[in-house]
Structure 1
C-alpha cells in the first residue's frame, strides 16, 4: 500500500498464545516452554510492536529476569504495547474467588511496572455444554468494582464475549459494559468470537460503544466448527486471511466503526504451536499485515464506488 495508509495504526500485537510456543489454555501448565528473552527478541525481529502476557508466565519471569527486567527488555526491543490476561472467577465467592483475587493482585502490580494498557478478563465459561448460571447482580457489581480498581492501578479491564460463556455474543457484551458504564471496563472484540457468535460484521458499527472497545483481535478459521466450539477455538484457528471468516471484512468493519488502536493477533492452533517460534510469529505477522492491506483495498474500493455514485 502507499505511505498514506487508510488504516493509520498498523501496529500489530502478538496476543499471548501467538508467541507462547507449545502452550494452550486449560491444558494444565499454561506457561510457555520458551524463555522470555528469546521470545521477546524473536517477536521484535519479526516486526511486532506489542505483546500479550499470560498470567501463568509472570511467576517464572519474576524468578528469572524480574518484572523490571522484563520492562527493560521490552523497551530495548521496541515493544510499545503490552496487554495481559487472563483473570477468571472475579465475580465469584469462596476458594475460586480467593484464587482469582490472588491473581488480580499479581496482574495489577505487574501492570503498574510494565505500563500495561489492558488486562483481558473472562466470564462464566463452559468447555462442554452450557455455562453455569451467573448471579446478574454480582456479575454487574463485581465488574464495576474490578474496573475501578484497575483504573486506580493505571490500567483497565476488557471482558471477552464468547459463544461458550454467559456473554455469548458481541451484542450481549456491548449491552453489559454499557449498563455498567465504568470508564475502565470495556470489551475485547475478536474475529473468531464475533463470527462464531453469529454477529454480522456490517452490524458492528451500530452495536459497539467504541469508547468501551479496548482490545481488537484478528484471526481466522474454517466456516464450519471443527469438533466442539472449545476444540475449534483452541486448536483450529488459522492465520488471518487463510480461512473463511473474512478477516479483511472484519478489519474494515472495525475501522469504519471507529477503531484506531493497534491490532491484536490471536492464533490458537495445534499446527501453529508445533512450529519453531520464529517461523510461527513471522507467518502470523505476515498474514495479519496482508489482511490489513486487503482491508484497505476493500475500503478504497468502497470509497471509489461511493464517490462515483455521488458524482452521478
Structure 2
C-alpha cells in the first residue's frame, strides 16, 4: 500500500530515551542513524531538534548533514522548537539565539518549517503583542523561505484552536499558521469537527498519534509519556485525517509519539512501527463519511 501523503519522523519519536524540556534531552542515537532509520522505514521527512543541530555543528559541517538527508531521500525537514519568541529580558535573549541558530540551519538544510511554542504558565502576554511578535517572526522567516507553525497546546496559554487561530489570523502572514496535532485537539475537549472552522490558509502542519480517551496522570505527563502508536489507542485518527483534508490541508503529516513504551525500544523498530501504523490510518480515512 502506498502512502497518499508524506510522513515526517518527528524528532522525539525516534530520539530514544529522552524527554523534551528536561536535562535528559540528548538522544543516545547518532543523528546519522536516525536519518537512516527514518528513510528505511519509509518516511519522507525528519524532525531535527535545536540540540541535535548544535551537537552536529560541534563536529561536522551542515553541508554534510544536508547531503546525508538528501541521499536518504528525505524531502521535508522540520526544525524545533522556538519558545519565548514573544518574551522579554533574558528569556527573549536566549530565544533570539535559538532563532538565529534555526534560521541558519534552515538555510543550510532547506527546512520546510519551524515549530513554535505558545506561552505557558499564565504568562498573560497581551494578544496584540503575540500577534505583532508572530508577524515579525514570520517576516524574518520569509527571508529564509520558511514556514512558521504555531502549535496549539491545551495546557498552554493558547489552549484551543480558536485562541491559537486568533494569533495567526491576526498576524495574517502568508508563511505563518497552525500546526494541528490530534492529541492537542482531543485533549482540548474539542470535537475533530472543530478543525473545519480553521481556514485552509492558516493550517501549515499536522501531527498524528494515538492515546487512551482517559488521561494518565496530569495532562503534561500524559502528553510526554503516554502517547501510543496510531491505531493502538482510542483516538479516531482516520477521522482526524479526513477532517484535515476537508479543511483543505494537503501537506505532510508528522508522526509524533512521546511514549515511555517506545523510548527503550531499538531505533529501527520504533521507526518502522511508527511509520507502518501511521500509514494505515490514511487508507482508513478514505472510508470516513465526509460531512455535508
Give the RMSD, CA atoms, in angstroms: 1.6
Other structure's SS at 1:298 match: coil
Whole-Å Cα distance in 1 between the matches of residues 205 and 124 of structure 2?
Answer: 26
Within the candidate set 77, 82, 87, 1:82 is matched to 77
Separation in 2, partners of 1:31, 1:138: 33
Paired with 1:65 and 1:279, the residues of 2 have a C-alpha distance of: 27
Matching of residues 268-287 of structure 1 within 5 Å: 268-287=258-277
Deviations 1:126-165 (A, max 9, x none): 4xxxx33213222221111111000112112111011111
Aligned twin of 1:13: 8
Question: Larger % of helix: which?
Answer: 1
Q: CA deviation at 1:256?
A: 1.4
1:69 is paired with a residue of what secondary structure? helix
Q: Give the equivalent residue in structure 1 for 2:156.
A: 165
When the two structures are superposed, what TM-score results if normalisation uses the length of structure 2? 0.96
The gaps in structure 1 that reach 5 residues or longer are 307-312
- Tell me, in whole angstroms, the C-alpha distance in 2 between the residues paired with 1:261 and 1:135: 31
1:194 to 158, 164, 185: 185
Alignment of 1:91-170 (within 5 A): 91-126=86-121, 131-170=122-161
Q: Distance in 1 between matches of 2:250 and 2:4?
A: 6
Helix, strand or coil at the partner of 1:255: helix
| Corresponding residue of 1:32 | 27
Give the alignment partner of residue 230 of structure 1, picking from 216, 220, 225.
220
Does the 8 Å CA contact 2:135/2:173 hold for their aligned counterparts?
yes
Q: Matches of 1:203 and 1:101 in 2, distance apart?
A: 33
1:62-120 alpha-carbon deviations (Å, 9 max, x no partner) = 12332111100001100011111100011111110000000000000110111111100
For residues 43 and 266 of structure 1, the distance between their equivalents in structure 2, rounded to whole angstroms, comes to 13
Structure 1 residue 10, shift from structure 2 partner: 2.0
Q: Give how far 1:177 is off.
A: 0.9
Q: 2:241 aligns to what?
A: 251
> Secondary structure of the equivalent of 2:287?
helix
Distance 1:43 1:189 in 2: 22
40-49 vs 170-179, which moves further: 170-179
- Does the CA contact (< 8 Å) of 1:14 and 1:48 recur in 2? yes
Q: For residue 47 of structure 2, give the secondary structure of its aligned residue in structure 1.
A: strand
Q: Is the 8 A contact 1:174 1:209 kept in 2?
A: no
Q: Which has the larger radius of gyration?
A: 1
The superposition leaves residues 16-67 of structure 1 with CA deviations (integer Å, 9 ceiling, x where unpaired) of 1111111121121422121111111111111111011111111111123321
1:9·1:260 contact (CA, 8 Å) conserved in 2?
no
1:61 to 56, 62, 85: 56
Q: Secondary structure at the match of 2:243?
A: helix
Structure 1 position 295 matched with structure 2 position 290:
no
**How far, CA to CA, are the matches of 1:174 and 1:140 in structure 2?**
10
Is the Cα–Cα contact under 8 Å of residues 231 and 237 in structure 2 kept in the other structure? yes
Of 30, 43, 50, the residue aligned with 2:45 is 50
**How far apart in 2 are the matches of 1:29 and 1:226?**
21
Q: Which runs of 5+ in 2 are unaligned?
A: none
